[in-house]
Amino acid sequence: MASGARPLRIWAVSDGRAGIEAQALGLAEAIARLKPAHISVKRIGWKAGLGRLPWQVIPLGARTGDPIQAPYPDIWIAAGRATLPLSTRMLKLSEGKTFVVQAQDPRAPLGRFDLVIPPEHDGLAGANVFPILGAPNRITPEKLALDLARFDDAIAPLPHPRVAVIVGGRSKAHDLPLDRARALAADIGRAIQAAGGSLLLSFTRRTPAAARQAITVALAHLPGIIWDGSGDNPYFAFLAAADAILVTEDSTNLATDAAATGKPLFVLAMAGRSAKLARFHAALRARDVAKPFVGELTAPPYPPLLETDRAAREVLRRYDGSV
């Protein structure tokens, strides 16, 4: 399946949600850092809620979003349930000419893909399975530096230690009720105030409105920036500027992004529990990457978690043996 001298054509395919798209696009960008490539972002959906059905029964004619048609790419990288009706058929549609990569556990026959890259904590195994710790991401020193430069006027005057706090929210396994949100805010506020530092606070789309409001009010007295969701997103700039990073336990993406910086990483406990995420956080602790937040803001250094680069090398090794 080697492409010769021309740049690889890679499609990064998802439903367009930021956290899902970042996995496909992050892996595509990591491959492009190793070998010349043109990356196309493809966002797809399904009419009338059909995307909630099992992938086997979703008709391809019900697809919405960007065109998915020949000529197909050299490498197809997809993430998320919405991509499965296409990912599982891409080997056939391309007559075996497209190398099909699926991030996450597809919960579909593995033979439908050339390579599956799930998180280790899913426990998936197979000849064409390459588990990684966490999820693929777009974090590189260059990207962090570029985003920090965009927000430097606002961040540069802030006192150290600068503490980035990234708050998730409601999921199948976790929640952030008002009492827990207030307790987290109180603990965070005490730690930052005691250190004489500043706050870089961002929420996700899943953060309940009541929790967002309570945390904002409780921490508004601290020097720093609380992003209210308007204007440019300072997420990467916050990671770049931080001396320590706090993330809620509900998200693999948040912890993986933070761990890619090599900075002290602390996990904020929420209501609820996920056995899979508990395994993920245990693996981070075992590698001395992260620890539960108990009021401390310093920790020993660790090598940045570069699982996306490791996965990119594996894709190329299996694609054409070039790495």
Q: Are β-strands 63-65 and 265-268 bridged in parallel, bridged antiparallel, or unpaired?
A: unpaired
Q: How far is residue 76's CA from residue 106's CA, in Å, rounded to a whole number? A: 14
Instruction: Kindly report each contact of residues 226-233 with a partner whose C-beta sits within 8 Å and lies 24 or more positions away, as own/partner.
Output: 226/199, 226/201, 227/201, 227/202, 227/203, 229/203, 232/150, 232/151, 233/202
- Cα–chain center distance at 198: 25
Question: What does the pLDDT read at residue 115?
Answer: 98
Q: Is the pLDDT of residue 48 over 90?
A: no
Identify any residues that bridge with 46 across adjacent strands, giving them in sequence order.
Answer: 63
Asked if 201 and 211 count as a contact pair (C-beta separation under 8 A), the reply is no
pTM for this model (two decimals): 0.93
Going along the chain from its start, the domains and CATH numbers come out as 8-133+307-320 (3.40.50), 141-292 (3.40.50.2000)
What residues have CB less than 8 Å from 306, skipping those under 6 apart? 260
- Tell me the per-residue pLDDT of 295-306, one tens digit each, with 9 for 90 and over: 999 999 999 999
- Tell me the per-residue pLDDT of 266-294, one tens digit each, with 9 for 90 and over: 999 999 999 999 999 999 999 999 999 99
- Cα–chain center distance at 312: 15
Mean pLDDT of 240-264: 97
DSSP secondary structure letters along 252-298:
HHHHHHHHTTTS-EEEE--EE--HHHHHHHHHHHHTTSEEE-SS---
**Residue 128 DSSP SS3:** coil
Amino acid identity of residue 261, one-letter, is T
- Tell me the per-residue pLDDT of 261-272, one tens digit each, with 9 for 90 and over: 999 999 999 999
- Tell me the per-residue pLDDT of 117-162, one tens digit each, with 9 for 90 and over: 999 999 999 999 999 999 999 999 999 999 999 999 999 999 999 9
